[in-house]
Amino acid sequence: MSTAVSHRPTPLSSALALVLAAGVALLLAGSSTQRLAVIGTAVGVAVVVTAARLPAPAAMPDEVTVRKRAVPTAGIGASEVTAIGAGIVVLSLLHGALTLAGGVGWARLGPGVLGIVLLGLGLRPVRDHLARRFVSAGLAALVVGVVLVGIFERADPGTLLVAATGAIIAWDVAEHGISLGEQLRSDADTTSVELLHAGASAGFGALLVLGATVLFENGATELPLVVLLGLVVAAVVSMAALYR
């Protein structure tokens, strides 16, 4: 229940993290059908996350209770919005599942959408102590998706590097939003701090991807791609840990 959560992640970092995760899943998707499933899943998860921040309905006055049949009951609450978001996610996943040709298609789509859902559960969250666990699980799913696409689809190395780096930045931004929410509460004015953190992470990640690409194309072509990918992932994770 939402009442068990005392401090939610900040809205801006939550939104940025979800957009980044959706971008990674879109990079891994192999068709317009898969991309539509990814977009639908991201929209549904965003609705579920937003629903947790809606104000609780005010208690109905006694005199109104007596006359409740005459009081309009228009409007929906957090539970209804959550149900709508969850419904969008389910429909998007069913659409993707019914139109996939086989297991390889799921390798492109499955981990990506799972990563978005797990990240969203961490950003909602259902319990304070589960927030970081779900966010980390979302990162793991996205990275698994990158590896599977690299193995089965032999995707372009540049695409895989960008996807892996984007997944880590999404995790880092989400973690930063959780920390700010715990320390300053989610309604504090932390826009500049969040944008600076996200920009620094993205800039560092872009430099690593550029350097790795140049290295791979000019003298390190014998280096296995998985090793290069691992080095970039380790570098970005180290950056995030040090910056924190």
In one-letter notation, the amino acid at residue 226 is V
Please answer whether residues 48 and 89 qualify as being in contact, where contact means their C-beta atoms are separated by less than 8 angstroms.
Answer: yes
**Segment 91-95 mean pLDDT:** 87
Pull the structure tokens for residue 59: 């208690």
pLDDT number for residue 231: 62
**Segment 77-99 mean pLDDT:** 86
Please answer whether residues 214 and 40 qualify as being in contact, where contact means their C-beta atoms are separated by less than 8 angstroms.
Answer: no
Q: Is the pLDDT of residue 8 over 80?
A: yes
pLDDT number for residue 113: 93
Q: What is the pLDDT of residues 218-242, one digit of tens each?
A: 765 555 666 666 666 666 666 556 5
Distance CA 34, CA 105 (A): 8
What are the backbone angles phi and psi of residue 148, rounded to the nearest 5°? -65, -40
pLDDT number for residue 61: 54
pLDDT number for residue 150: 79
Q: What is the pLDDT of residues 146-169, one digit of tens each?
A: 888 877 777 777 888 889 889 989
Q: What is the pLDDT of residues 17-69, one digit of tens each?
A: 999 999 999 998 888 888 999 999 999 999 999 988 877 665 555 555 555 55
Cα angle 85, 89, 95; round to 5: 140
Pull the structure tokens for residue 110: 């499955």
Please answer whether residues 13 and 188 qualify as being in contact, where contact means their C-beta atoms are separated by less than 8 angstroms.
Answer: no
Q: Is the pLDDT of residue 110 over 80?
A: yes
Q: What is the pLDDT of residues 183-219, one digit of tens each?
A: 887 778 889 999 999 998 888 888 888 877 777 777 6
Question: Which residues, at least 6 apart from 63, have a Cβ–Cβ distance to it below 8 Å?
Answer: none
pLDDT number for residue 149: 85
Average pLDDT, the chain: 80
